[in-house]
Structure 1
Amino acid sequence: MLDSMDAEELAALWRERLESWAIPEKILAAAPADPWSYPLARFTARTDQALAEPDEGPTLARTAEALPGGGALLDVGSGPGAASLPLHARIGHLYAVDTSGEMLEELAARADKLGVPVTTVTGRWPDVAEGVPEVDVAVAAHVVYNVPDLDRFLLALAARSRGRVVLELPNRHPMSWLSPLWEHFHDLVRPVRPIAEDCVALAAALGFDVHVEERESPLERFGSLEELAASACHRLCLDPSRAQEVGRTALELGMWPLPRDRWVTIWWDRPV
């Protein structure tokens, strides 16, 4: 079916499927905290781990092989820089875009220690794309499931890169692991799509010569059942006091230990 659809249809389907992940207002209204928020410490820890032990997976490899020494790199949805700063020895200038000023401050501090010149841009891509010059390589890791207008997002990345665009994303929505718990605690069946295949199909329909590589995530999602339960309470809009109950339920549902995610790297080069 996807093969027979054009880019406009695929973009609309992506948007519709992503919107289906919205949490019902009745549940959201009772949430003790924003269930979509992420703790800054989780991102900084991941970046520091990536700097201490650079990942040898396809995302970093495809970015590195297309980035000339001293080249310009654009990192969209950068967080503190896990997808870009491990390449500090090759970066001549890093342009980092994120909606969070706190994330960009963490990135800038690490870039300074590594001697990487950096320009940070606070805002949502592609709304801020005009403020970024053309670069050698553009990377966007673990961000597309937050992007409803994915066609505009991808086209703007391609327009800013004179070389390569590299995406990394889980093969399914990053909140999919919670689906059994949503059904148990809220009698709510969560969607299955969009998935990475939908992003690949849209990129191809936009005319990009897409390459795809998949692997097991190098990271465990949680280090303990207690950590899983605390995160699940937050995501499920439950009071933190119910963490033990959530942990017991996760065990009963066979959710611990969680299998590792599958990560997909999607990349293409600008035609010469």
Structure 2
Amino acid sequence: MDERWRADLALWGIPDEIAARARTDPWGHSPARFAERTERALAEAEGPTLRRIAEALPRGGSVLDVGAGTGAASLPLAASLGELVAVDTSDGMLAELESRAAELGVPVRVVRGRWPDVAAVTPAADVVVSAHVVYNVPDLAALLAELSGHARRRVVLELTERHPMSWLNPLWAHFHGLVRPERPTVHDVIAVAEALGHQVRHEARLAPLTRFATLEELAESACRRLCLDRERAGEVVAAAVALDMWPLPRDRWFTLWWDSERESR
């Protein structure tokens, strides 16, 4: 099952001849954009992911946030947090998280690096959360195993139903003649977790906000992801309209969770 995940994920790679045209990293993420998401999450602390963390988190307990970004999946629980352990590869993201944690009075310990590579130097926590990370990790079984091994009470995942770059599929076909994959999906994540022996529960909802506020924002992102010059943004806008891509439908987000063996005993 894990090998199927690895193979499906590999098909999302960008062909070398297309990637060679990119002026910026097509897989990059903006700390400023993530910070905006965290600000919205702090202003409206709701949703199944936060509920599933909160119901397993003792007051003053600890949360390990893997792929923490700027803290959208954990900082809204500041009132109950005794310690936040944040793992991420981006210094920029972690700096944003530390700044917000200080404002909220949340003690935070950061671990810079990629999961599960840094698992051995990362402490356990009452609840482990990993939001919008799994589609970046080829070795899914190892990721899930280390998440579970670090959770005293519960593991909570948040992810899109399909690969988060699926919205670009019509534009890949239009500009590059490239047909993108249909898998992996959230159901593959559930299958791998269950194969590891976890009793997985899940809940779905629409993403709280649309991906882009304007067609211009869509075009800017699409140019970067498709390895197109920014000067072609107008072409992207025209193609998105012609392909009936605007407005983009909201993604379906899934929350998966399972309790740790030590908690269930």
TM over 0.5: yes
1:98 CA drift (Å): 0.2
Correspondence for 1:36: 27
2:31 and 2:96 in contact (8 A); partners too: no
Q: 2:193 aligned to 184, 203, 223, which one?
A: 203
Q: Which amino acid aligns with 1:104?
A: L
Whole-angstrom distance in 2 between the partners of 1:149 and 1:203: 12
2:200 and 2:256 in contact (8 A); partners too: yes
Count of residues in correspondence between the two structures: 262
What are the equivalent positions in structure 2 for 1:110-121 lying under 5 Å apart?
A: 110-121=100-111
Whole-angstrom distance in 2 between the partners of 1:36 and 1:178: 13
Whole-angstrom distance in 2 between the partners of 1:214 and 1:136: 24
Q: Which amino acid aligns with 2:160?
A: P
2:23 and 2:229 in contact (8 A); partners too: yes
Q: Which amino acid aligns with 1:225?
A: L
Q: Which amino acid aligns with 2:255?
A: T
What secondary structure, in the 3-state scheme, does the structure 2 residue paired with 1:35 have?
A: coil
* Structure 1 residue 123 corresponds to structure 2 residue 113: yes
What are the equivalent positions in structure 2 for 1:1-272 lying under 5 Å apart?
A: 10-54=1-45, 56-271=46-261, 272=265
1:38 CA drift (Å): 1.2
Gaps of 5+ in 2: none
Correspondence for 1:6: none
Whole-angstrom distance in 2 between the partners of 1:128 and 1:173: 25
Whole-angstrom distance in 2 between the partners of 1:27 and 1:130: 37
| Runs of 4 or more consecutive aligned structure 1 residues displaced over 6 Å after TM superposition | none
Whole-angstrom distance in 2 between the partners of 1:211 and 1:147: 21
1:131 CA drift (Å): 1.4
1:113 CA drift (Å): 0.7
Q: Which amino acid aligns with 2:230?
A: P
1:94 CA drift (Å): 0.4
**Deviation per residue, 1:40-70 (Å, 9 max, x gap):** 211011001111121x211110001000000
Please give the root-mean-square deviation of Cα atoms over the aligned residues, in Å: 0.6
Correspondence for 1:5: none
1:219 CA drift (Å): 1.4
What secondary structure, in the 3-state scheme, does the structure 2 residue paired with 1:88 have?
A: helix
1:134 CA drift (Å): 1.7
2:85 and 2:110 in contact (8 A); partners too: yes
**Deviation per residue, 1:216-260 (Å, 9 max, x gap):** 110110000111111111110000000011001100000000000
Gaps of 5+ in 1: 1-9
Whole-angstrom distance in 2 between the partners of 1:92 and 1:130: 22
Whole-angstrom distance in 1 between the partners of 2:253 and 2:124: 27
Whole-angstrom distance in 1 between the partners of 2:27 and 2:164: 11
Whole-angstrom distance in 2 between the partners of 1:116 and 1:226: 37
Correspondence for 1:3: none
| TM-score, normalised with respect to structure 2 | 0.98
**Deviation per residue, 1:152-204 (Å, 9 max, x gap):** 00000000001000000000000000000000000000011000000000000
Whole-angstrom distance in 2 between the partners of 1:232 and 1:118: 35
